A and B are shown apart, each in its own frame.
Chain A
Amino acid sequence: MQVSKEKKLEMLRSMLLSRRFEESLVELCKIQGKIPGMMILCTGQEAVGSGVCSALNPEDVIISNHRSHNHLLAKGADPKALMAEIYGKKTGCNKGKSGTLHLAVPEINAPCTSTVVGGGLPISVGVAFAQKYKNEKSVTVCLFGDGAADEGSFHEALNLASLWDLPVIFVCENNLYAGAQRYEEHTKVKNIADRAVGYAIAGEIVDGNDAVAVFEATRRARERAVSGQGPTLIECKTYRCRGHGEADPQHYQPKDEIAEWTEKCPIPRLRGELLSEGWITDKELQELEKEIEKMVADAVRFAEESPWPDLEEALEDVYVS
């Protein structure tokens, strides 16, 4: 099936938004005290979240991990609410309790994010179980890293999802690193997707820097899921162009490897495709970029101007004895 112009534009737009959003975070991180905690970005990996989410319906659910900005923006999260949350402000989507690591945006069917590596996998099985239980025609996507596939939770989740033919899509973002450990240093099997065999489910390997390929694989997996054929394990081969987090000097990542993958950036790739297909003009592209620039600037301004939460709010949203 052809991928429509609208879908490709949607993916380009969400990749551009995610990149600009995270570039502004890089700048803000350099200013002491602006942003609390860690800052974990997905520069170079945007084709995954953007490709996956463009293939989903609004009622489909995503469960994300510590590298979630792109996933959530692509699913339709409000950049203002995300930015304010990352600052720890009262107006943030989680009232300042989550910060960047565990952003939850139930409005867009991203009800929780786990920063416990592998934590999202069993949860996504539960969500998919509920979807099937309620006879909904929706699916759940769990996004996780190659490192997460080392946790027991990965295996337990895939086994159960397979056994019960649950409508869940496991999307592994294999960015070649788990912390400072290179893929070959933490996993011996050549591809994470090869493990699908062990659970009798479909497995696919995709060029994770090709948003269209990710989109198509997700669409196929979604078809399988809603038609009762159970889960799919999709492995997107991509690369982490920045450090694990912004405090990471990347001393263990070869410089030429970073350069090589920076060349393979998914954004110019899709932009080039759209330009050569004549589906967008240079002028339209510039306008799109300007619009995104403004959106992110507005989000930063909103976060800056927002108040801190009141101290009593620390005691809300949980039972306190």
Chain B
Amino acid sequence: MQQLGMGQAVNQALREEMARNPDVFIAGEGVGVSIHDNPMLPTAGLLREFGPGRVKDTPVSEAAIAGLAVGAAVAGLRPVVEIMFNPFFTLASDMIVNHAAKLRYLSGGKSTFPLVVRIKSGAGFGAGCQHSHNLEAWVAHCPGLKVVMPSTPADAKGLLKSAIRDDDPVIFIEDMMLYFAPGPVPDEEYLIPMGKADIKRKGQDATIVTWSKMLGVAMKAADRLAEEGVQVEVVDLRTLVPLDKETVLSSVRKTGRLVVLHEATRTGGFAGEICAVVTEEAFSSLKAPFRRVTGPDIPVPVSPPLERFYIPDEEKLIEAVREIL
């Protein structure tokens, strides 16, 4: 099996879908000629391969990029547009939140908007809160959008291919810190359906629900807990919307304990949604209160020790698991 970073896996998904369907095009700031001349990055080489007709470098205008996607999608194309850093999604958000998400409904189901917005996200590169801000709960809160946050290169490839073929607008959030960490990716063509969580580790003592980069933290914590004889089950949501409630609920019914882990800040974060679902539907199987391990309710600071403090780590997760054992 090939070993790829997530950036390369995304790149393969884009290449294969563009080759498969001439209606697929990509657009964004530097998706063709990028300041980063780096083959590990998601859109590297695509301009050379598909030409400037299908790989569109845009001006710095997120509203126009998002509007382009909305309009081109309703006119029959399959746009995959890029927002360079998650905070700049706010500039694109009118077109996505007020339009892409609502227009199929408003048309009584007659118009469809098959578009994908790829967003680079995550803290950990020392650039501060105007570049690092995990906003997945914002988009998940907005009816009409699907929200994908892969944790491994293989998942990223299979999920992006599904997202591109999906008829609904999909927000596809890539944590940049995952671009360079290689993982196995099947050589043959495959799709991963949206709305199917993945149990990345089996266990019976507690359930950790997580997604994206925090999966790595969960796996490390699970290894360490296993040394103490505690077997945690790690559920990787992969997509927040649609949410695979069944996998989460059946895991919690088995273990009786739940910790939700995400990098985004706590208040109004998606962990609250998971905990609510479990409380509503599996309350009687809970042997202890759930725990949330998240970023604190602050913007991401730049100073290295403060940024490390912001990002949840294994210590905090292990502590939370121990508290409810």
Q: Which A residues fall within an 8 A CB radius of B? A: 36-38, 88-89, 92, 95-99, 101-102, 114-119, 147-148, 150-152, 178-181, 185-187, 243-245, 247-249, 251-252, 308-309, 311, 313-315, 318, 320-321
CB nearest neighbor in A for B305: A308
Can you list 7 residue pairs at the A/B interface with Cβ under 8 Å? A101-B127, A147-B60, A151-B63, A181-B33, A248-B35, A251-B37, A308-B305
Say yes or no: B59 contacts A150, CB within 8 Å: yes
Expressed in whole angstroms, the minimum distance between the Cβ of B204 and any Cβ of chain A is 34
Expressed in whole angstroms, the minimum distance between the Cβ of A196 and any Cβ of chain B is 19
Residues of B within 8 A of A (CB-CB), count:
39
Say yes or no: A318 contacts B298, CB within 8 Å: yes
By a CB distance below 8 angstroms, the chain A residues around B267 are: 321
Bound-state CA distance A83–B313 (Å) is 29
Say yes or no: B131 contacts A115, CB within 8 Å: yes
Say yes or no: A99 contacts B87, CB within 8 Å: no
Say yes or no: B302 contacts A88, CB within 8 Å: yes
Given A151-B60, A247-B36, A314-B306, check contact A179 B127 (CB 8 Å). Answer: no
**Contact residues, B162-177 vs A (CB, 8 A):** none
By a CB distance below 8 angstroms, the chain A residues around B35 are: 179-180, 243-245, 247-248, 252
Q: Does B310 contact A (CB under 8 A)?
A: yes
By a CB distance below 8 angstroms, the chain A residues around B303 are: 36, 88-89, 92, 95-97, 99, 308-309
By a CB distance below 8 angstroms, the chain B residues around A37 are: 125-128, 302
Expressed in whole angstroms, the minimum distance between the Cβ of A153 and any Cβ of chain B is 8
Bound-state CA distance A119–B58 (Å) is 18
Q: Which B residues fall within an 8 A CB radius of A? A: 29-30, 33-37, 57-64, 87-88, 91, 125-128, 130-131, 266-267, 296-299, 301-307, 309-310
A151: contacting residue among B87, B91, B297, CB under 8 A: B91
By a CB distance below 8 angstroms, the chain B residues around A98 are: 128, 302
By a CB distance below 8 angstroms, the chain A residues around B130 are: 101-102, 114-116, 119
Bound-state CA distance A207–B303 (Å) is 38
Say yes or no: A320 contacts B57, CB within 8 Å: no
Say yes or no: A96 contacts B88, CB within 8 Å: no
CB nearest neighbor in A for B267: A321
Say yes or no: B30 contacts A181, CB within 8 Å: yes
By a CB distance below 8 angstroms, the chain A residues around B61 are: 150-152
By a CB distance below 8 angstroms, the chain B residues around A321 are: 266-267, 297
Starting from the known contacts A36-B126, A308-B303, 15 additional A-B residue pairs (CB-CB under 8 Å) come to A38-B126, A89-B303, A97-B299, A98-B128, A99-B302, A102-B128, A114-B130, A116-B87, A116-B88, A180-B30, A181-B59, A186-B60, A248-B35, A314-B306, A318-B297
Given A115-B131, A147-B60, A180-B34, check contact A309 B126 (CB 8 Å). Answer: no
CB nearest neighbor in A for B84: A179
By a CB distance below 8 angstroms, the chain B residues around A115 are: 128, 130-131
Say yes or no: B59 contacts A99, CB within 8 Å: no
Say yes or no: A97 contacts B306, CB within 8 Å: yes
CB nearest neighbor in B for A182: B33
Expressed in whole angstroms, the minimum distance between the Cβ of A64 and any Cβ of chain B is 13
By a CB distance below 8 angstroms, the chain A residues around B59 are: 147, 150, 178, 181, 186-187
Bound-state CA distance A38–B34 (Å) is 16
By a CB distance below 8 angstroms, the chain A residues around B63 are: 151-152
